[in-house]
Amino acid sequence: MRGHNATLVVLGTFLLWFGWFGFNPGSFDKILVAYPNTTDQGNWTAIGRTAVTTTLAGSTAGITTLFGRRLLVGHWDALDVCNGVLGGFVAITSGCAVVEPWAAIVWLFAKEEFVIQAYESGESGVARPYGLLMGGGWGLIGCQVVQVLVIVLWVSLTMGPLFYALHKLRILRISIDEEVAGLDISSHGGYAYVAHPEDDQPRFYADYMRLQAQNQS
């Protein structure tokens, strides 16, 4: 289902914004730890810089998206701004403790402009695998391969039998008729959104296929 409730999208974005301060500055396990050969620099300065760069990154990305989309499509789009803000947070997370505040602004402005233009031109290579090899070399990619294999093995051994049993017991998913009717009707006795009256929705899979055939003809 396409995102359709702008109020909840904005609310969720602000909740994530607040939570990102626990994710970035909150990742330090100690605060009152001074750096070697200094008494006025320590984890507390890094935590402050992390909070500042995180805020600047999200704000810059959101503002850039706001005006960029206005110039490209001719209107203001709150949902795109929310995506831009979250994209800014994601982009700054890896270097939030070492990036200077001014660099966070320039970095995220350039990043959002590139993403917007690539999105408009239909390019599929916005996210490229360059970071997989850059910087860490073969040692890093070897560690990543081992990590992926361990995760696959662990999930297969712990979750595989569970989902196999649920599949055999036929309780892993609902029936096809319940899926077509919607869980709000089949399990909860009503529609979640008043914009979808009962008469407009197929109740069974056969009705759904008949409507599909009518639409195609």
pLDDT tens, 123-165? 444 445 555 555 667 787 888 889 889 999 999 999 999 999 9
Whether residues 29 and 116 share a domain: the answer is yes
Alpha-carbon distance 194 to 206, whole Å? 24
Q: Are 44 and 31 in contact (CB under 8 A)?
A: yes
For residue 95, what are the domain limits?
6-127
Question: Does residue 163 form part of some domain?
Answer: no
Whether residues 28 and 88 share a domain: the answer is yes
Lowest pLDDT segment from 35-49, 64-78, 136-150, 165-179: 35-49
Query: pTM for the complete prediction?
Result: 0.58
pLDDT digits (tens, 9 = 90+) for 25-43: 887 776 666 667 666 666 6
* Domains identified in the chain, total number: 2
Residue ending a domain, choose from 127, 159, 186: 127
CA angle 94, 96, 100 (to 5 degrees): 130
pLDDT of residue 158: 94
On the CB side of 36, CA atoms within 13 Å amount to: 0
